[in-house]
Amino acid sequence: MKKLINSVDSVVTDALRGLAAAHPSLRVDIENKVVFRADAPRPGKVGLVSGGGSGHEPLHAGFVGYGMLDAACPGEVFTSPVPDQLIEAAKGVDGGAGVLHIVKNYTGDVLNFEMAAELSGDEGVEVATVLVNDDVAVQDSLFTAGRRGTGATLFVEKIAGALAETGAPLAEVARVAREVNERSRSFGVALTPGTVPAAGKPTFELSDTEIELGIGIHGEPGRTRAPMREAREIARTAMDAIDADLPLSGETLVMVNGMGGTPLIELYIVFAEVEAYLREKGATAVRSLVGNYVTSLDMQGFSVTTCSPTGELTRLWDAPVETPALRWGR
């Protein structure tokens, strides 16, 4: 294993030091492992808190800032954040309007966020929760009861974050966050596995001619292994899976997301095929993201996430955002 780390034990704290040094717009509590907007808490504004295992960067800390998250809690690599982190985050972002937990559907995350929500409630912070479970590939995978939460997390964080910025109340922000999740679907493909530093070896094995269709962002098994094939066919397989679950039509938000080790030129090739597929279905990619957003360490591969938005959701998508990894329009 060759990785740019100082030791397997200090991966997360060392990266947090770098994050703090690179982004003056963030306040990074390295001891408690919480990344805050520098201006948190904002009085009267619902505070958005997300988190999860590290190794998916820029998710979640890269999405902390104006118009998106108020705080992110990174766990160890592929390991849920602990309740203490989440409680610290809620305290630090609550401006009196309550806190929304945005939780990817993995058993450990769900339990720890639940416990934190209860304890934060005991301390007088109202907490609502949205569970993200957009991945159509499999039910009840490793680490998950039900569907996994993947790329749609970004859509939820962006759109709910924009609404919270307007001063909307907690119930309304939670409602919209859930609506984004319900309207979103994802499917991922791996060409190669990633390597968790503490494990020192790839999370699974794939031969030089095989790919994994329906991969999870921790290397959880997908639907099937298949021979390597053209980007066009791989993209169609992903889109067919999404379309079979929630038929694609009309205006669509689309993300072609790299898994961490995939060159951008390949992601654009995939995007061309995804966009052509949408047109065939009579759908239109009205907003697009192409790049590394919800990664899995150094895995090569991609995921596609679609969202069929209402006009309100598209307007919130377009609202200004200013975070390390996503910014436009202010």
Residue numbers at the binding site for a copy of itself (CB under 8 A): 1-7, 11-12, 14-19, 21-23, 54-55, 57-58, 62, 77, 191-192, 194, 208-209, 211, 228, 230-232, 234, 260-273, 275, 285, 288-290, 292, 295, 297-298, 300, 302, 322, 324, 327-330
* CA atoms of 56 and 217, how far apart (whole Å): 8
Q: Which residues contact 268 (CB under 8 A, 6 or more apart)?
A: 290
Strand, helix or coil for residue 88: helix
Among the listed residues 106, 33, 44, the one whose alpha carbon sits nearest the alpha carbon of residue 71: 33
* Owner of token pair 């992601």: 267
Strand, helix or coil for residue 304: strand
Catalytic residues: 56, 218
* CA atoms of 89 and 62, how far apart (whole Å): 16
* Nearest-approach distance from CB 262 to a copy of itself, in angstroms: 7
Return the number of the residue (104 or 147) whose C-beta is nearest a copy of itself: 104
Return the number of the residue (268 or 310) whose C-beta is nearest a copy of itself: 268
Q: Which residues contact 124 (CB under 8 A, 6 or more apart)?
A: none
Task: Read off the tokens for 42.
Answer: 């904002």
Task: Read off the tokens for 32.
Answer: 């408690």
Phi, psi of 202 (to 5 degrees): -55, 145
Return the number of the residue (98 or 258) whose C-beta is nearest a copy of itself: 258
Return the number of the residue (32 or 284) whose C-beta is nearest a copy of itself: 284
* Nearest-approach distance from CB 278 to a copy of itself, in angstroms: 9
* Nearest-approach distance from CB 164 to a copy of itself, in angstroms: 22
**Cα→Cα distances 83→49, 100, 109, 218, Å:** 12, 15, 9, 21
Task: Read off the tokens for 219.
Answer: 């290397």
Phi, psi of 102 (to 5 degrees): -110, 115
* CA atoms of 177 and 164, how far apart (whole Å): 10
Return the number of the residue (76 or 135) whose C-beta is nearest a copy of itself: 76
Return the number of the residue (5 or 111) whose C-beta is nearest a copy of itself: 5
Strands 300-307 and 321-322: unpaired
* Nearest-approach distance from CB 79 to a copy of itself, in angstroms: 13
Q: Where are the alpha helices (DSSP H) in the chain?
A: 11-22, 83-93, 107-122, 152-165, 170-182, 231-245, 264-280, 311-318
* Nearest-approach distance from CB 135 to a copy of itself, in angstroms: 19
* Nearest-approach distance from CB 290 to a copy of itself, in angstroms: 5
